[in-house]
Structure 1
Amino acid sequence: MRSGVEPEKIILAVVRAIEARFNGGDWLKFGYATGHADRVRDHPRLLRSLDYNDLDYSEHVLEMVESILRPRRDRHLRGGYAIEESKIDPQAVTVAERVLDLPTWLIQNEPDLYQELYGAHHAEAAVDDLGSPAETLGIGDVHRHATRIRQGLRDDPALAIGAAKELLESVLKAVLSLHGNGAETKQDLPQLVKRAAVSLGLDAGGVRDDEPGAAPRRKMLQSLTQLVIGAGELRNAGLGTGHGLSQGPAPDVATARLVVSAAAAAATFYMEAYEAQQPN
């Protein structure tokens, strides 16, 4: 979790995750994990209001989470007056993060709150970095793909994977000057990435033995090509949108993030390599 986050935001995140998921047993486990099982068990209304779905349940959840995460109170003088402030308990917060798997739950259900507590996920940050090189090269489609990727990472992993594959196709076609919808543009992703690598002098087979770091450089370039091809193969296997499959496999969020991160890194690399070769 980021430093300096307002305690109220932390408490709000934990409250929302608990309200969405906890039953009575979960509450007791949470109490034991944080050292407050007696407080949970002895609360006059918390578990009862949960069992009977009472309207005051949310109020009791907030009260309990507040007492567990912010139990300490410090007194000090401010302007001649005694002020009492409660302090967040970092150990209790860490336990809550682990028990609730809080980052994952927030990414899937409360992305704005996740942003406030943890910052952008690396996959989204990688997509954000696409803007500058894409603008320099005039690849307008990148913004559209990036928007769909962000939406998919929050709500639809298959959409994120499909959009990541389309992002790679758009960038590689731009690098190869394959514009429009002509017959010459009808190439699959393995063809595009191999042609782009040769065009940019990034083909592993073109690395000379006498070049510094020749062997590891070949491995890196080969791995980059396989990452791009793998992103396309995942989409073609039905894990990404684009083929209209019925009852296809449902990708998990972690796989979608991996595909997006790899695709964004590869797209940025090819755009920057292309730009570096253009005359000033």
Structure 2
Amino acid sequence: MSKDISEITRRDIIDLFVIGLENPDDPLCNDRLYWSGRMDEEIFLSRLFELHSMPSTDGRYKDAFGDIHQHCTNNSDWDVDWIFYDSRFDLLHAEDEIFLNFLCEVFHPAVRLERQNWEGFLEEFNKLLKLDGFIIKESCKISGRSVYNWERLVDQNIIAKSQGEDLKEKFDSKYISSQIEIMNSTIETAPNVAIGKAKELLETCCKTILDEQHIAYSADLDLTQLMKRACESIGLSAKSVDKSTESGNIAARILGNLGAISQGMAELRNLYGDGHGRTRGFRPLPNRYANLAVGTSVAAVKFMWDTYVERIKK
């Protein structure tokens, strides 16, 4: 089991339980979500923990079940947030699985109060959990009501990020490193920025390859022309491949598609990137397109740069 959910995230989630969410209809009255919902605390916790095997903090009772029953159900003399600071459960520092199972149980249809704004809390919890790589999502339905479980998020751009780190070392440039950092960090939050940076990375690679070979080029070249010039300079053109074999024909088609990448990237950036003013009605593309743009750009740049390095070694 892991401990990837930071104490900061846990405290932010606990604050939501204690302080509540702002009610847009009544700013003076926050929406609240009590963690045990319509159940008594000891009944709720029994769904997750073996309370009869856990110690009591009150000498009059032999186990945690009796202790909690007395101080929460019989005589409510504990603070509402006691569960988050009780060392027997240690939710602030427990393994991720324990903390997440607790949160999922809060939203179980047998527990939650439907009249409460539980969906608003679920949304806010997920905003925080996603930062640490987790999400709570529907797993099934019981009597038509959603049951939730947690999942570890898979980084959809992990290959591109890995190759991006490799590129930062290869180029040894603070500017390029910063562009790659911005590109990767904005895929989810600002896909239009990531798309713009993906195009810039291609441009920078092409110019660097040409500059390293002392090959002159016009500042007026667009990305497609620039990429064509750079690729030809390192032998990456369909014309340079022997097409007398099947493998040669395949290689020629692949190299021919490098030009299509630059053309598509330029068009994508012009329509959805961050380089132009936008009207009020502008709607950015979904994040998956930014993932595609970044992944394509990084893969193309790595291929071109590796080819250039191999060429100068000969």
TM bin, normalised by shorter chain, reads 0.5 to 0.7
For residues 71 and 173 of structure 1, what CA distance do their matches in structure 2 show?
A: 62
What pairs up with 1:40-55 in 2 under 5 angstroms? Answer: 55=30
Contact kept? 1:228, 1:266, Cα under 8 Å: no
For residues 193 and 126 of structure 2, what CA distance do their matches in structure 1 show?
A: 16
Aligned-pair CA distance for 1:216:
2.4
- Greater relative contact order structure (CA < 8 Å, 6+ sep): 1
Alpha-carbon RMSD: 4.7
Question: Does 2:277 align with 1:244?
Answer: yes
- SS of 1:191 mapped into structure 2: helix
For residues 129 and 5 of structure 2, what CA distance do their matches in structure 1 show?
A: 15
Aligned-pair CA distance for 1:268:
1.5
Q: Which has the larger radius of gyration?
A: 2
Unaligned runs of 5+ in 1: 20-45
How many residues in Structure 1 have an aligned counterpart in Structure 2? 229
What pairs up with 1:1-280 in 2 under 5 angstroms? Answer: 4-6=1-3, 55=30, 57-58=32-33, 60=34, 62-63=35-36, 71-73=47-49, 111-114=130-133, 118=152, 121-123=155-157, 125-177=159-211, 184-211=218-245, 213-237=247-271, 239-247=272-280, 248-279=282-313
The amino acid of 1:163's aligned partner reads: K
- SS of 1:153 mapped into structure 2: coil
TM-score computed with the length of structure 2 as normaliser: 0.55
**Could you give the per-residue CA deviations for residues 116-155 of structure 1, whole angstroms, max 9, x where no partner exists?**
9746723265135223344334444321211221342242
Contact kept? 2:5, 2:129, Cα under 8 Å: no
**Could you give the per-residue CA deviations for residues 2-59 of structure 1, whole angstroms, max 9, x where no partner exists?**
xx345978xx79x96xx8xxxxxxxxxxxxxxxxxxxxxxxxxx9xx9998854724x
For residues 218 and 5 of structure 1, what CA distance do their matches in structure 2 show?
A: 47
Change beyond 3 A, Cα 1:140–1:57: same
For residues 260 and 50 of structure 2, what CA distance do their matches in structure 1 show?
A: 57
Percent identity between matched residues is 22
The amino acid of 1:271's aligned partner reads: W
